[in-house]
């Protein structure tokens, strides 16, 4: 099978890696990767458990063993993680995944895809000065996905999506992940300590504030929590986190990663879902071929991660109400069960579709586990 993968981020490169190892002909189209990306860079332990071939990448990350959660009214709790979140520079993570795809036999063409079309026989990519034909197209081209726009007539994202802005700050002294919730909208600020810098940013509902307003909030956080950090070198960034539902596959194509809205609407985590979607699609293509893969991939995605993300999107805005966050942080500060629940949510070990049952079970056991 001859597969075009549009986009060489984690979803695209991981999909290409698995396809090339299985003996398929794979061409990656991307004129920008590897590059730094505006996100936390955290990879949850579930990703390494699901895809053991990623284990060797851990050496390039910085493990975070705790997350400090700060409520809108100032309440705070430190949540110890049963297994660490591995925090990567995105340039490094993307480089490692892309290099493995290329070593497995995938070809990288540093060309921008202008448009994608499909018919019963395959797909055609418009590359500006030339056209390329393939049996199947993988849309791994992020929040502005040309594959999604060409074939579905829409951009990724929905009503639960976020706008983000912030800075990569070099030399910032922080060991733990820090998440600070806001009082005036359903969002949060974050500090993710990477191996050679910290990603410091904010996520707000799309349309809630412009980029300048969001960056001002991040600068206020830096000045308040890290006095003197204004002298540190920093690089600004801005991006979106697309969250939503809808079709992710069709005739001779499928979407993965941000192009498929594969982001957690509560935690903002997307790398594990990018890897899951890329891996699931590669396996579906190897098992069912170009014609049968869209249905198999869609079935498996919706039964697993896709269904979880849909449930997450329904819960997100309610959970981010300031009173709800204040209560949850205060409860976690005095209850081991609440801290364990929060920790499991942070490392994507607690299914959203079973969250209500677990919360009810914890409540019925009573408050005797304080501290």
Give the pLDDT confidence score for residue 371 in this predicted structure: 59
Q: What is the distance between the alpha carbons of residues 289 and 296, in angstroms, rounded to a whole number?
A: 10
**Positive or negative, the Cα torsion across 170, 48, 160, 154?**
positive
With beta carbons less than 8 A apart as the criterion, state whether 279 and 146 touch.
no
Separation CA 227–CA 62 (nearest Å): 24
| Whole-number pLDDT of residue 357 | 83
Residue 278: CATH number of its domain: 3.50.50.60
CB 204 within 8 A of CB 162: yes
226 in any annotated domain: no
Residue 143 counted as domain residue = yes
Domains in the chain: how many in total?
1
8 Å CB contact between 270 and 38? no
Q: What confidence score (pLDDT) does residue 16 get?
A: 98
Query: Is 16 domain-assigned?
Result: yes
Instruction: Give the span between the Cα atoms of 79 and 337, in whole angstroms.
Output: 11
Q: How far apart are CA 360 and CA 365, in angstroms?
A: 9
Collapsed DSSP state (helix, strand, coil) of residue 138: strand
| Nearest CA-CA partner of 141 in 291, 310, 15 | 15
**Whether the model pTM is above 0.85:** yes
Q: Using the Cα atoms of residue 14, residue 19, residue 20 and residue 22 in order, give the sign of their dihedral.
A: positive
Closest CA to 196 of 347, 61, 49: 61
Report the chain's C-alpha Rg in angstroms: 21
Whether 83 is in a domain gets the answer no
Query: What b/e string do you get for 267-301 counting C-beta neighbours within 10 Å, with b at 16 or more?
Result: bbbbbbbbbbbbbbbbbbbbeeebeebbebbbebb
Q: Domain for residue 188, yes or no?
A: no
φ, ψ of residue 304 to 5 degrees: the values are -115, -110
CA dihedral 269, 274, 279, 281 (to 10 degrees): 130
Residue 209 is assigned to a structural domain of this protein: no
pLDDT tens digit at each of 371 positions of the chain: 999 999 999 999 999 999 999 999 999 999 998 888 878 899 999 999 999 999 999 999 999 999 999 999 999 999 999 999 999 999 999 999 999 999 999 999 999 999 999 998 999 999 998 999 999 999 999 999 999 999 999 988 877 789 999 999 999 999 999 999 999 888 899 999 999 899 999 999 988 889 899 999 999 999 999 999 999 999 999 988 998 777 789 999 999 999 999 998 888 889 999 999 999 999 999 999 999 999 999 999 999 988 888 888 888 877 888 899 999 999 999 999 999 999 999 888 888 888 878 877 776 565 556 55
Structural domain containing residue 282: 2-61+88-158+243-312
Dist. CA 278–CA 267, nearest whole Å? 20
Q: Please indicate, yes or no, if residue 327 is contained in any of the structural domains.
A: no
Strands (E) located in 198-337: 198-205, 234-241, 249-250, 253-255
pLDDT of residue 26: 98
Please list the alpha-helical segments (H only) found in 322-367.
Answer: 322-334, 336-346, 355-365
In a domain, 219, yes or no: no
Q: Are 9 and 94 in contact (CB under 8 A)?
A: yes
- Cα separation of 15 and 9, whole Å? 10
Give residue 106's pLDDT: 98
Pairing of strands 177-181, 62-70: parallel
Give the H or E element holding residue 131. Answer: strand 131-134
* Residue 243: half-sphere exposure toward Cβ, Cα within 13 Å: 30
């Amino acid at each position: 099978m001859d597969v075009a993968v549009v986009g060489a981020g984690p979803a695209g490169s991981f999909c290409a890696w698995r396809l090339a190892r299985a003996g398929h002909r794979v061409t990656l189209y991307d004129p920008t990767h590897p590059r730094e990306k505006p996100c936390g860079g955290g990879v949850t332990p579930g990703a390494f458990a699901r895809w053991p071939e990623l284990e060797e990448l851990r050496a390039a990350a910085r493990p975070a063993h705790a997350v400090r959660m700060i409520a809108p009214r100032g309440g705070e709790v430190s949540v110890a993680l049963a297994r660490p979140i591995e925090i990567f520079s995105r340039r490094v993570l993307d480089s490692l995944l892309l290099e493995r795809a290329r070593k497995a036999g995938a070809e990288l063409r540093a060309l921008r895809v202008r448009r994608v079309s499909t018919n019963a026989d395959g797909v055609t990519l418009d590359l500006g000065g030339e056209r390329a034909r393939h049996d199947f197209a993988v849309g791994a081209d992020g929040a502005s996905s040309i594959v999604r726009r060409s074939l579905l007539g829409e951009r990724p994202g929905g009503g639960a999506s976020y706008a983000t802005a912030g800075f990569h700050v070099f030399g910032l002294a922080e060991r733990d992940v820090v998440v600070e919730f806001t009082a005036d909208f359903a969002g949060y600020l974050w500090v993710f300590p990477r191996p050679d810098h910290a990603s410091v940013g904010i996520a707000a509902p799309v349309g809630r504030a412009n980029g300048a307003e969001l960056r001002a909030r991040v600068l206020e956080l830096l000045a308040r929590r890290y006095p003197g950090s204004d002298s540190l070198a920093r690089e600004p960034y801005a991006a979106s986190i697309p969250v939503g539902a809808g079709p992710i596959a069709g005739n001779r194509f499928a979407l993965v990663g941000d192009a498929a809205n594969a982001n957690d609407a509560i935690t903002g985590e997307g790398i594990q879902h990018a890897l899951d979607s890329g891996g699931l699609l590669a396996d579906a293509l190897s098992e069912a071929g170009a014609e049968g893969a869209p249905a198999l991939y869609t079935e498996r995605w919706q039964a697993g991660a896709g269904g979880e993300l849909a449930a997450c999107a329904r819960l997100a805005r309610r959970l981010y109400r300031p009173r709800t966050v204040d209560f949850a942080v205060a409860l976690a500060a005095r209850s081991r069960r609440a801290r364990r629940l929060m920790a499991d949510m942070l490392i994507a070990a607690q299914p959203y579709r079973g969250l209500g049952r677990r919360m009810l079970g914890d409540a019925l056991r009573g408050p005797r586990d304080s501290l």
